[in-house]
């Protein structure tokens, strides 16, 4: 009996691989990696950091590949030309998002802006974000970023005798900026230390924990038969807390008397949405406002964070899963970008000095003795070069937010079936030696002459196409202003003679493995101004 079973398996396994090979050839599918294992596909190949693993695979097998995450077909793209095809000719085809468990639970059953399928509802949410929230006019009316920047300066002056943990500093700043835009409140550094502030910080902490949790069922549905519910229960619990918290903020804004809002231009995000609710209450429900606020909270910072990892295939193998709309994930991308930028500056003090000289010269040319503000950013091109080079080397999303094809299409001459998830390996493109000279070298000058944050399809830190990040303008303002203030006001140095550790930690928002810690002291020329 065992002999016949063994013989049957011996015949079936080669037949499976041959059938898959001929199907790919017949249907003109992109190349894949041999072998594609039954059930798990290519999950066994994935090692951290995932973007580097994908880059190695693409270098060996080609810039357009089809791989399998369990039962899910994935198109892996790692060249500018293929990315251009996906986001121009096929932009509408790839305008959907994969339907994953996080979208059902955290994305209000796939109705939030981040998770909604492409259609009238999504277009309306995008229009609100573009016109009502992230327009240049609206961004300029929010002065919270400048206020938080000055509060940060005061905090560092009082703490400069000790080492500064820049990771924590940047996280608290970005959380305060976003929450002030959303509700007019700040929750760190001296305010909101009451029950509400404690509640927010507990939700934020739990969010970071859930972001690293696991959910294999998205790619291996067979596990649902065995009752794998742990991750789902944690997400449901977190979502109830987030939902209740945002609902309380909505109720507080709704109960506020009109006279309490002195300037219509300075309404918070919730107040703007409540005005829309008055015009169309059946559409702009509290549920929609909550989903929109949580989406914007993420999208407002350097693309938002759509990613998490889960471990379980093998003990040390981490597999990709999308877990968007975690309350603090979006702010994490902005704070992480600032942390990478300062780590690079500490390791390249000549670049830091050049940035200081640029700011000093700009102020001197205008006979002004003040702190930099956002209006100065256009006149500080070297600072923009530093930011762009940081985003090139350490993009907040090394893999662009995943898309999914709504119908069959062609990419690179290959047939891409409907329902294929698209992953664009931005990190691989940013580190391609055929596109960038010495890509591992920190060289801000390479971006001289580039006005925006895109350089064709070889540099697109905020994505491209219909579902690119709507908060790009806000992100660049916030990150640029914060870096400018810290460079202008303080002299910085490493805590020791050793270079800052530039190792990457686990996670697809590419955090640093070790927090950036530095020493600072107010610059002599800034003492009077800071005081």
Question: Which residue's entry shows tokens 């006001």?
Answer: 489
State the SS3 of 90-149: CCCCCCECCCCHHHHHCCCCCCCCCCCCCCHHHHHHHHHHHHHHCCHHHHHHCCHHHHHH
Residue 206 to residues 171, 244, 333, 374, Cα–Cα distance (Å): 15, 15, 17, 33
Pick out the residues of the known binding site.
469
Counting every residue written for the chain, the total comes to 531
* Distance of alpha carbon 82 from alpha carbon 69, whole angstroms: 21
Q: Is-contact 318 309, C-beta < 8 A?
A: yes
Closest by CA to 180, choosing from 143, 221, 207, is 143
Pick out the residues of the known binding site for heme.
469
Residue 184 to residues 114, 144, 223, 328, Cα–Cα distance (Å): 23, 9, 44, 17
Question: Which residue's entry shows tokens 């660049």?
Answer: 476
Estimate the share of the chain in helix, then strand, then coil, as percent rounded to the nearest 5: 55, 10, 35
Report the 10 Å Cβ neighbour count for 506. 14
* Distance of alpha carbon 157 from alpha carbon 154, whole angstroms: 5
Radius of gyration (Cα) for the chain, nearest Å? 24
Sign of CA dihedral 442, 445, 449, 452: positive
* Distance of alpha carbon 525 from alpha carbon 531, whole angstroms: 12
* Distance of alpha carbon 230 from alpha carbon 203, whole angstroms: 18
């Amino acid at each position: 009996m065992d002999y016949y079973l063994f013989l049957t398996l011996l015949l079936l396994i080669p037949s499976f691989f041959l059938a898959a090979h001929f199907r790919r050839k017949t249907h003109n599918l992109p190349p894949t990696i041999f072998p594609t294992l039954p059930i798990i596909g290519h999950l066994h190949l994935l090692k951290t950091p995932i973007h580097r693993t994908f880059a190695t695979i693409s270098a060996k097998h080609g810039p357009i590949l089809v791989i399998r995450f369990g039962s899910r077909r994935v198109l892996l793209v790692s060249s500018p030309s293929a990315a251009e095809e996906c986001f121009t000719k096929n932009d509408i085809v790839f305008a959907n998002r994969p339907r994953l468990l996080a979208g059902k639970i955290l994305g209000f059953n796939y109705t939030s802006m981040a998770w909604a399928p492409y259609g009238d509802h999504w277009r309306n949410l995008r229009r609100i974000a573009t016109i009502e929230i992230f327009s240049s006019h609206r961004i300029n009316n929010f002065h919270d970023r400048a206020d938080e920047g000055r509060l940060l300066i005061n905090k560092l002056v009082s703490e400069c005798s000790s080492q500064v943990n820049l990771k924590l500093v940047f996280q608290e700043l970005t959380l305060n900026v976003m929450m002030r835009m959303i509700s007019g409140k700040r929750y760190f550094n001296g305010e909101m230390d009451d029950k509400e502030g404690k509640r927010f910080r507990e939700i934020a902490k739990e969010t970071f924990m859930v972001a690293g949790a696991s959910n294999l069922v998205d790619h291996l549905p067979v596990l649902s038969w065995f009752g794998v519910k742990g991750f789902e229960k944690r997400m449901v619990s977190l979502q109830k807390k987030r939902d209740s918290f945002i609902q309380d903020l909505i109720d507080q804004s709704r109960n506020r008397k009109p006279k309490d809002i002195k300037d219509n231009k300075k309404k918070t995000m919730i107040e703007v949405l409540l005005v829309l609710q008055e015009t169309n209450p059946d559409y702009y429900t509290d549920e929609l406002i909550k989903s929109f606020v949580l989406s914007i909270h993420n999208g407002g910072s350097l693309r938002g964070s759509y990613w998490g990892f889960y471990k379980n295939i093998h003990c040390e193998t981490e597999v990709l899963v999308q877990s968007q709309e975690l309350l603090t994930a979006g702010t994490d991308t902005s704070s992480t970008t600032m942390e990478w930028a300062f780590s690079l500056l500490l390791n390249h003090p000549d670049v830091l000095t050049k940035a200081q000289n640029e700011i000093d010269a700009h102020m001197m040319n205008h006979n002004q003795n003040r702190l930099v503000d956002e209006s100065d950013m256009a006149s500080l091109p070297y600072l923009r070069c530093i930011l762009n080079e940081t985003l090139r080397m350490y993009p907040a999303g090394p893999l662009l937010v995943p898309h999914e094809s709504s119908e069959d299409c062609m990419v690179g001459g290959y047939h891409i079936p409907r329902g294929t998830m698209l992953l664009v390996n931005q990190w691989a493109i940013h580190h391609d030696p055929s596109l960038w000279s010495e890509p591992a070298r920190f060289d801000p000058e390479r971006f001289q002459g580039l006005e925006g944050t895109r350089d064709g399809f070889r540099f697109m830190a905020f994505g491209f196409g219909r579902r690119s990040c709507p908060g790009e303008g806000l992100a660049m303002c916030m990150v640029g202003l914060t870096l400018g203030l810290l460079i202008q006001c303080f002299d910085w140095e490493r805590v020791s003679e050793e270079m800052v550790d530039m190792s990457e930690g686990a996670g697809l928002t590419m955090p640093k493995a070790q927090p950036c810690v530095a020493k600072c002291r107010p610059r002599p020329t800034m003492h009077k101004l800071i005081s």
